[in-house]
Amino acid sequence: MPATRRFFLTLAAALSLSACGTLGFGSAKPAPPKPVQTAKPQAVIGLALGGGASKGFAHIGVIKVLQENRIPVKVVTGTSAGAVVGSLYASGMNAERLAQEADAMQKTDLVDLTLSTSGFIRGEKLQNFINRKVGNRPMENFPLRFGAVATEFDSGRSVVFSRGNAGQAVRASASIPNVFQPALIGGKRYVDGGLTAPVPVGAARGLGANVVIAVDISAKPARLTESGFFSYLDQSLNIMNTAALNNELAGADVVIKPQVQRLGAVGGFDERAQAIKLGEDAARAALPKIRAVLSRYRLQ
């Protein structure tokens, strides 16, 4: 066999063997592709603080526990008492400062009586109190995004105030019908946000929160055991649109419910320390649920 022919036969055999290896005869299977790692979304934590008059001091205890556990709240919404506490918190006050403000607060700081068929409290004192405490800053200049929820009197529509005069927005949010005179903003009358959003979860999501911790300080309506104005007011606060409360809470990731039922709605100023402690207790009990929810997100 000529040398040239032997060379080409040898080359062909070598190429055939190489092709067999390439096609996988007797070779290991290729490694499967690595699974794509899906990045966790960034948490934007919202705190929705419900209404309940002086039971709202419990919100301070909740804030204290969240602060101690470095849970970075970015959005705060409040209805009525929740708007009072929420505005101060969103303005930059920490839990310790909030507790100091609560201890120093007197009913006379907030109540300005008047003779009127629409309400016997004007609400100007509350408005001025909030503006003084937040340094007269508009809400859009607060360190945390803040929204106060009120109800438009003539349409019954829920409205979120997140810009402009903080005291005016809180006054509107806390204007309990027939107790406070309706707040007048932009030519429209506003009353308590508890009529439409007792715990403003939807408002928190509307301001950008993708994780919402709701704080419910309401109590189930029960048979009155005492007579008198404050007892009837307490009952009125309890029954204000229970359906709206349930709808709001259904949209929360975590619901914290301090056991403040036995505290008075208005007369509970003397029980503010106990209300704060009940808020702390409820928030600590909710920490495992909060951590479980936040494990699905990036916090920084």
How many Å apart are CA 193 and CA 219, to the nearest integer?
17
Q: Which residue has the tokens 């929420």?
A: 86
Q: Does the residue 17 lie in any domain? A: no
**Per-residue pLDDT at 106:** 86
The model's pTM is 0.83
Residues 6 or more apart whose CB falls under 8 angstroms from that of 156 comprise 195, 196
**Per-residue pLDDT at 25:** 42
Give me the domain span that covers residue 261: 45-295
Q: Does the residue 96 lie in any domain? A: yes
Q: Does the residue 136 lie in any domain? A: yes
**Per-residue pLDDT at 115:** 85
125, two tokens: 């004192």
How many Å apart are CA 221 and CA 173, to the nearest integer?
22
Q: Does the residue 154 lie in any domain? A: yes
**Per-residue pLDDT at 7:** 46
Q: Does the residue 23 lie in any domain? A: no
Q: Phi first, then psi: what are they for 35, rounded to 5°?
A: -65, 140
Q: Does the residue 178 lie in any domain? A: yes
What's the domain count of the chain?
1
Residues 6 or more apart whose CB falls under 8 angstroms from that of 168 comprise 127, 161, 183, 185
Q: Strand ranges (DSSP E) for the chain? A: 45-49, 73-79, 145-152, 158-161, 183-185, 188-192, 211-215, 254-256
**By CB neighbour count within 10 A (0-12 exposed, 13-18 middle, 19+ buried), where does 284 fall?**
middle
Point out the residues that are catalytic. 80, 192
**Per-residue pLDDT at 109:** 85
Rounded alpha-carbon distances, angstroms, from residue 180 to 45, 121, 129, 141, 251: 32, 5, 16, 28, 30
- In SS3 terms, 256-300 reads as ECCCCCCCCCCHHHHHHHHHHHHHHHHHHHHHHHHHHHHCCCECC
Asked if 134 and 169 count as a contact pair (C-beta separation under 8 A), the reply is no
Q: Does the residue 10 lie in any domain? A: no
**Per-residue pLDDT at 28:** 57
Q: What does each of the 300 residues of the chain score in pLDDT, given as a tens digit?
A: 555 555 444 544 444 444 444 444 445 566 777 666 678 999 999 999 999 888 999 999 999 999 999 999 999 999 999 999 999 999 999 999 999 999 999 888 888 998 888 888 999 999 999 999 999 999 999 999 999 999 999 999 999 999 999 999 999 999 998 889 999 999 999 999 999 999 999 999 999 999 999 999 987 655 545 555 555 565 565 565 688 899 999 999 999 999 998 886 555 567 899 999 999 999 999 999 999 999 999 997
How many Å apart are CA 59 and CA 79, to the nearest integer?
12
**Per-residue pLDDT at 19:** 46
Which is nearest to 180 in space by CA: 195, 161, 165, 166?
A: 195
- For residue 75, what is the domain's CATH number? 3.40.1090.10
C-alpha 224: how far from chain center: 31
Q: Does the residue 291 lie in any domain? A: yes
Which is nearest to 106 in space by CA: 129, 128, 87, 122?
A: 129
